[in-house]
Amino acid sequence: MKPITRVISLALCAILLLGCAPSKPLPEAPSTENTPKAPEASKNNEALTMPTLLGAKPLLAPEFEKTPPEAGSSANEFAFKLSKSLFKKSENSILSPFSVWMTLAALSNATNAKVLPELLKSINAEGLRVEDINESVSRMLYMLTGNEGKDANSHNPLAIANAIFVDKSVALKEPFAQAFLDYYRGAAQNVDFSQPSSIDAINKWASEHTNGLITDIVKEIPRDTIAALANAIYFSDRWALEFNEAETEELPFKGIKSEAKAKFMKREGDAIPYYEDASLQAVNLEFVGGGGLLIMLPKNKDADALFNGMNADSFKSILDGIGPNSGKLLMPRFELFSDFELKEALEGLGVPLFDSMRLPLNELADADAFISAALHQATITVDEKGTTAAAVTVQMMSRTSLPAPTEPFSMVCDRPFAFVLHKWTPEAGAQVLFTGVVNQM
């Protein structure tokens, strides 16, 4: 594939590429079969980071009814809030708000009791206990990744990994380390943040858990860093009904900044999952392994405004309103990449973990900490065969220095559009995994 255009997105960039060569087979999702083992105590006398932990608890099956459903659905509301904060008008963007949400959910186990209510409110979990969130995450991991309770040979398009990298000068507190292992399958690894090798360790982990798609998320280590908590999410699946490559044709895409040629895929016929109202058209492209990519085409040609008006309820309403219809869909194949520094957006949503004066993360280790940098990279490729998407979030933590229609439809995505990649869970129904807008070719 060759790049068509490059646009600046927030601190760094978002890139849209069009595939002009024959599509390559989608890679298989990395195996998540092996549960992380409890970290062993380091043999280095200087390393104090690894408490002795019990083996990880089994992930909670969906039949477990104790967890309030709000604990899972809060991730969807957070998804749209964060997307609105980060998506820059008129530019291409791709984000995994689910990845960001999971890192903050994990850090609720390390948060100062006085600061905790603000954190829970910022991630739309106000009124819930940390235990509720942990159990909800366990259930979501069970359902989304199929780590446990499914045949090893079953189709599993989604992999989610969590890890914490800990400086050799500090010791993790056992309650946090055990909860991170039990509910998030979080592995712990010793590093020396005073050495460049710590950057290599995090980037290598990110690459390994995204099939080589995210390789350089960390470029420097903030001063006095003692830990880095990371989440990686990788999705790769084929369409339940693939597009016919022979019908792909080059057509103009009328972007906000300019018009450019793009390779348009076509689907035409009966029983296409379709929705339409006064403001938009939408098609839900379903995957072999469940879930789908919801493509939303605004009638006023403003994809940014469409996304800014969405929330978890409107997303659910669109999916609930989708039904089989006869018609035709034309949409370009596309590839996006975005690199975000999340601090400003998360602070704007009320996340209190960046204020070192409040000692927000005093239950993480034997040194009080705060988030000194919040990093996120995401990428997605959509073509005739299916979709591959990946994202990594890294929270760098430093030591504190102070305490339905009836007529056949025609939907031609030759202008800006928005999308949501989702997969079903009993917690939230369609769990939002990736969000994005395409404004330019």
CATH code of the domain containing 168: 3.30.497.10
In which residue are the tokens 């600046």 written?
8
Residues 277, 279, 285, CA angle at the centre, nearest 5°?
A: 65
pLDDT score of 60: 67
State which H helix or E strand residue 390 sits in: strand 386-399
Looking at the domain assignment, is residue 285 inside a domain?
yes
> Same domain for 248 and 111?
no
- To the nearest 10 degrees (0 to 180), the angle between helices 97-107 and 70-86 is 120
| Domain extent at residue 309 | 2-20+239-335+405-438
Please choose, from the candidates 214, 266, 249, the residue with its C-alpha nearest in 3D space to the C-alpha of residue 388.
214
Q: What is the CATH number of the domain that holds 428?
A: 2.30.39.10
β 429-438/417-425 pair status: antiparallel
Looking at the domain assignment, is residue 346 inside a domain?
yes
How far is the CA of 66 from the CAs of 131, 135, 139, in angstroms?
A: 11, 9, 11
> Same domain for 105 and 252?
no
How far is the CA of 93 from the CAs of 5, 36, 126, in angstroms?
A: 13, 32, 29
Looking at the domain assignment, is residue 62 inside a domain?
no
> Same domain for 122 and 194?
yes
Looking at the domain assignment, is residue 197 inside a domain?
yes
pLDDT score of 47: 43
> Same domain for 389 and 411?
no
pLDDT score of 90: 85
> Same domain for 283 and 199?
no
User: If you compute the radius of gyration of the chain from its CA atoms, what whole number of angstroms results?
Assistant: 22
pLDDT score of 214: 98
pLDDT score of 425: 81
> Same domain for 385 and 414?
no
> Same domain for 221 and 206?
yes
Looking at the domain assignment, is residue 278 inside a domain?
yes
> Same domain for 298 and 215?
no
Looking at the domain assignment, is residue 84 inside a domain?
no
Q: Report the distance separating Cα 132 and Cα 212, nearest Å.
A: 34
**How many domains in the chain?**
2
pLDDT score of 124: 93
Q: Report the distance separating Cα 253 and Cα 15, nearest Å.
A: 16
Q: Report the distance separating Cα 416 and Cα 14, nearest Å.
A: 15
> Same domain for 291 and 376?
no
In the chain, % helix, strand, coil (3-state, to 5) comes to 25, 35, 40
Please choose, from the candidates 102, 174, 97, 177, the residue with its C-alpha nearest in 3D space to the C-alpha of residue 139.
102
60-115 per-position pLDDT tens digit: 665 545 545 566 688 999 999 999 999 988 899 999 999 999 999 999 999 999 99
* Low-confidence residues in the chain, pLDDT < 50: 1-49, 64, 67, 148-150, 402-404
> Same domain for 244 and 324?
yes
How far is the CA of 186 from the CAs of 157, 226, 229, 232, 358, in angstroms?
A: 20, 17, 9, 11, 26
CB atoms within 10 A of CB 86: 23
Looking at the domain assignment, is residue 124 inside a domain?
yes
Please choose, from the candidates 92, 142, 82, 40, the residue with its C-alpha nearest in 3D space to the C-alpha of residue 346.
82
Looking at the domain assignment, is residue 73 inside a domain?
no
> Same domain for 257 and 356?
no
CB atoms within 10 A of CB 340: 27
Q: What is the pTM of this model?
A: 0.84
Q: Report the distance separating Cα 141 and Cα 185, nearest Å.
A: 9
Both tokens of 316, joined, read: 């659910």
Both tokens of 134, joined, read: 């942990």
> Same domain for 289 and 380?
no
pLDDT score of 129: 92
